Amino acid sequence: MAAEQKQKLEQQLWNIANTLRGKMDADDFRDYILGFIFYKYLSTKMDLYANEVLKPDGLTFKEVKGHPDEALLLQELKLLAIDKLGFFLEPSELFSELAKRGNSGGINNFILGDLAKVLTHIEQSTMGTESEEDFGNLFSDLDLTSHKLGKSETDKNELIVRVLMHLDEIDFDLENTDSDVLGDAYEYLIGKFASGAGKKAGEFYTPQQVSSILAQLVTVGKEKLKSVYDPTCGSGSLLLRVAKEVKNVGEFYGQEMNPTTYNLCRMNMIMHDVHYKRFDIKNEDTLERPQHYDMRFEAIVANPPFSAKWSASPLFMSQDRFSDYGKLAPSSKADFAFVQHMVHQLDDNGTMAVVLPHGVLFRGASEGHIREYLIKEKNYLDAVIGLPANIFYGTSIPTCILVLKKKRENPNDILFIDASQNYEKVKTQNVLRSEDIDKIISTYKNRIGEVKYSHIALLSEIATNDYNLNIPRYVDTFEDEESIDINAIANEIKVLNATIEETDKTIVGFCNELGIETPF
């Protein structure tokens, strides 16, 4: 039943999103529709919580307006809501009230100004409180004055009213605390937008199939996690996916450089009912200005931008995350800089899994030096997993996953898995099926060597290869060509030649009957 409900909600929300599709480009209508869904979510949470608090008084939240003790009731409710929910809305600011006001009497009343004030008030209600950073500027990408919504103010208002009305008709079912249907539907929408965003998609979304692998890798043998961290968290999908693999995650930490994606991540966290006190997402460049530098995390997952540029400033050599290696990743390719950063933040009992381009496995110079140090001196590398090409939005290059631990159960070897040929082609994209994912995880968990799929390489074997980790060096996927029976082929040629001779004679006979020259 939950699956049917989820599918229905996803389709309803996507249909509403398409109301905006023809008006603006994908990035813009993504921000608007996700922002409005988030506003309705906050509104519904506020209404439900206030009704619960007011139940002993025989009141509902909407009945507070006009009540003789309205000011006192709102003051008390605000104090409670800020602590419990992290924000506050008045009864007149609820989503349903604005939607009703916009379409009262079947006529589109002008509500753009009121809507802008409400969104601002949600953020202002948190000022000076513990949740201020988590809610500040959350709606900054919802520009209700933008010409993208329409040429005239009337056109803009009409479009927004239509979207709010459609959303108001949908039951988010937030009373059901055991269900995360809305959070999953929100994630579904983010994924849908990513599939049409081209190269930009990688900035905010990791495909769920890859998220699932990373999440399962860092939770092997664990039922709960003290903390999980993603240094390039995008929309937060990876962090949230880890939470699905264990019974409980204590705290979520992340850093995201893009302001719009940073807002999306915080919304996504809240929409999945992660309490504001349990997540800490920062808007900054992780390599240049790390925000959780002195913290250590039990699980770390990441899908950093592939081969991104960074400053590689010599000043970084004095920082603990880089100093031991003696060299920095090149300024043109920050892949290993992210690895070094993540290793620095990893707790002694933790596991990290990161998606990277294949070049990190074999490129030389400073990258080769860092790779050798990680294996020879630190012995942190636990597994190398090759993924199929064309599974990420916006790039078709093949990728790999590196799994690292500071305290490895198998310190004398490294597991190599070549899963590059195990996938299904769906339209223009390659997709890892559930059985493909299960095989990767099972092989990693049980540390299985399988011909043409996986190999357990001793550290001495890695050293012999000069710490080159190119997967074909360890997993031989070469397929022998079928043997050819030369005698059988010679006999086939003789038969063909005899057939040709008979055919030529027949053609000559026809030409003679017709009195024309033969073609040969």
For 458-513, write each residue's pLDDT tens digit.
999 999 999 999 999 999 876 556 667 788 888 888 888 888 888 888 887 777 87
Mean pLDDT, range 425-450, rounded to an integer: 93
What pLDDT is stored for residue 171 in this prediction? 85
Strands 381-386 and 413-418: parallel
Residues above pLDDT 90, as percent of the chain: 65
What pLDDT is stored for residue 481 in this prediction? 62
Mean pLDDT, range 188-194, rounded to an integer: 77
Distance (Å, whole) CA 381 – CA 386: 15
What pLDDT is stored for residue 106 in this prediction? 60
Contacts of 395 (CB under 8 A, 6+ apart): 199, 202, 306
User: At 284, is the pLDDT very low, low, confident or very high (cuts 50, 70, 90)?
Assistant: very high
Measured from the Cβ of residue 222, the count of other Cβ atoms closer than 10 Å reads: 16
Evaluate whether 420 touches 398 at the Cβ level (below 8 Å). Answer: yes
Distance (Å, whole) CA 5 – CA 188: 13
Mean pLDDT, range 142-156, rounded to an integer: 89
Q: Is the pLDDT of residue 210 over 60?
A: yes
Distance (Å, whole) CA 430 – CA 456: 27
What pLDDT is stored for residue 480 in this prediction? 56
Distance (Å, whole) CA 87 – CA 42: 8
Q: Is the pLDDT of residue 520 over 90?
A: no
Distance (Å, whole) CA 144 – CA 480: 63
Mean pLDDT, range 81-95, rounded to an integer: 96
- Residue 385 β-bridge partners: 401, 417
pLDDT in tens, 389-425: 988 876 788 899 999 999 999 999 999 999 999 988 8
Evaluate whether 110 touches 161 at the Cβ level (below 8 Å). Answer: no
What pLDDT is stored for residue 197 in this prediction? 54
Distance (Å, whole) CA 236 – CA 229: 10
* CA dihedral of residues 251, 252, 253, 257 (deg, nearest 10): -160
Higher pLDDT: 431 or 344? It is: 344
What pLDDT is stored for residue 200 in this prediction? 46
What pLDDT is stored for residue 230 in this prediction? 98
Tokens of 290: 């790390």
Mean pLDDT, range 282-307, rounded to an integer: 96
Q: Is the pLDDT of residue 23 over 80?
A: no
Tokens of 248: 């409980």
Evaluate whether 181 touches 2 at the Cβ level (below 8 Å). Answer: yes
Distance (Å, whole) CA 340 – CA 378: 12
Burial state string for 132-159 with b = 16 or more CB within 10 A and e = fewer than 16:
bebbeebbebbebeeeebeeeeeebbbb
The reported pTM is 0.87
Write out the DSSP string of 447-508: T--BTTTEEEEEHHHHHHTTT---GGGTS--PPPPPP--HHHHHHHHHHHHHHHHHHHHHHH
User: At 13, is the pLDDT very low, low, confident or very high (cuts 50, 70, 90)?
Assistant: confident
SS3 label, residue 115: helix
User: CA–CA distance from 192 to each of 18, 34, 137, 185, 201 (Å)?
Assistant: 11, 12, 25, 10, 10
Mean pLDDT, range 212-222, rounded to an integer: 97
Average pLDDT in the chain: 90
Higher pLDDT: 119 or 177? It is: 119
What pLDDT is stored for residue 184 in this prediction? 79
Rg for the chain, CA atoms, rounded: 30
Q: Is the pLDDT of residue 19 over 80?
A: no
Distance (Å, whole) CA 262 – CA 267: 9
Residues above pLDDT 70, as percent of the chain: 93
Question: Is 34 buried (19+), middle (13-18) or exposed (0-12) by CB count in 10 A?
Answer: buried
Angle between helices 259-271 and 181-195 (to 10 degrees): 150
Least confident of 280-284, 437-441, 508-512: 508-512
Q: Please give the single-letter amino acid code of residue 477.
A: T
User: At 173, is the pLDDT very low, low, confident or very high (cuts 50, 70, 90)?
Assistant: confident
Higher pLDDT: 100 or 28? It is: 100
What pLDDT is stored for residue 199 in this prediction? 47
What pLDDT is stored for residue 201 in this prediction? 44
Mean pLDDT, range 445-453, rounded to an integer: 95
* CA dihedral of residues 157, 158, 159, 160 (deg, nearest 10): 50
Mean pLDDT, range 133-137, rounded to an integer: 94
User: At 22, is the pLDDT very low, low, confident or very high (cuts 50, 70, 90)?
Assistant: low
User: CA–CA distance from 76 to each of 54, 70, 320 (Å)?
Assistant: 11, 10, 48
Q: Is the pLDDT of residue 83 over 90?
A: yes
Distance of CA 294 to the CA centre of its chain: 26
What pLDDT is stored for residue 1 in this prediction? 46
pLDDT in tens, 96-133: 999 998 877 666 688 999 999 999 999 999 999 999 99
Mean pLDDT, range 250-276, rounded to an integer: 94
Distance (Å, whole) CA 305 – CA 146: 30
What pLDDT is stored for residue 505 in this prediction? 80
